[in-house]
Structure 1
Amino acid sequence: MIKNQNFGQAIEAAKQGKRIAREGWNGQNMFAYVVPAASYPVVTDAAKLHFGENTLVPYRAYWALKTAQNDIATWSPSGSDSLAEDWVILD
């Protein structure tokens, strides 16, 4: 675990596949990570209409957050997150 990182350092670690968190999140077992770009089987009706049945849908890389409720959500860092210097690289 590496503590007291700025967001730029945390981003670089996440791009390398590492989990990152704010110092205050750790008691709730929350962390953020980057889901790399990939293609996934079409699931939704909207995607089936656009991409076709039984196809792969291309997804761009995106941020994901393991929440305090123990599920995963997409995540967009806040302005406070981006300026914080209390980021932790968990692994």
Structure 2
Amino acid sequence: MLKFGDAIEALKAGKKVTRKGWNGKGMFLWLKPAVEIKAEWCKDEALKKLVVENGGTILGLGTICMYTHDGTGRKAILTGWLASQSDMLMEDWIILED
């Protein structure tokens, strides 16, 4: 098992990580890298407006994403996951193999 810093390094290396202590089955994190967003890709009108105003592309910064479930149990993706203090202090992080 790993410390939080080791889990972050694994994310940077393209690995998926999880915590043994998480209640939800199958939950894990991955790092979505930065990407140039093009206006024609946008389904979100507010984002599309910003991209168009920026000349047709804008940088989407990298972010940590979580595969999780919503309140009804449906599978869901959380973009921009933030670690709790418990997450950062625990040493039960695991690298998932593909």
- TM-score interval for Structure 1 and Structure 2 normalised by the shorter chain: 0.7 to 0.9
Tell me the secondary structure at the aligned position of residue 85 of structure 1: coil
Q: Distance in 1 between matches of 2:38 and 2:51?
A: 10
Aligned residue pairs: how many? 88
- Paired position in structure 1 for 2:34: 37
Matches within 5 A, 1:45-56: 45-52=45-52, 55-56=56-57
Question: What CA deviation, in whole Å up to 9, does each residue of 1:23-46 have, x standing for no partner?
Answer: 033861010111011122332222
Greater shift after overlay, 27-36 or 50-59?
50-59
Q: Displaced runs of 4+ in structure 1, greater than 2 A? A: 24-27, 44-51, 53-57
Unaligned runs of 5+ in 2: none
Q: Does 1:83 align with 2:92?
A: no
Q: Aligned letter for 2:75?
A: N
Question: What CA deviation, in whole Å up to 9, does each residue of 1:31-90 have, x standing for no partner?
Answer: 011101112233222233332179233111101000033221121111110111000011
Q: Under a length normalisation based on structure 1, what TM-score does the superposition of the two structures give?
A: 0.82
Identity %: 39
Q: Under a length normalisation based on structure 2, what TM-score does the superposition of the two structures give?
A: 0.77
Between the two structures, name the one with larger relative contact order (CA 8 Å, sep ≥ 6). Answer: 1
- Paired position in structure 1 for 2:63: 62
Q: Aligned letter for 1:50?
A: L
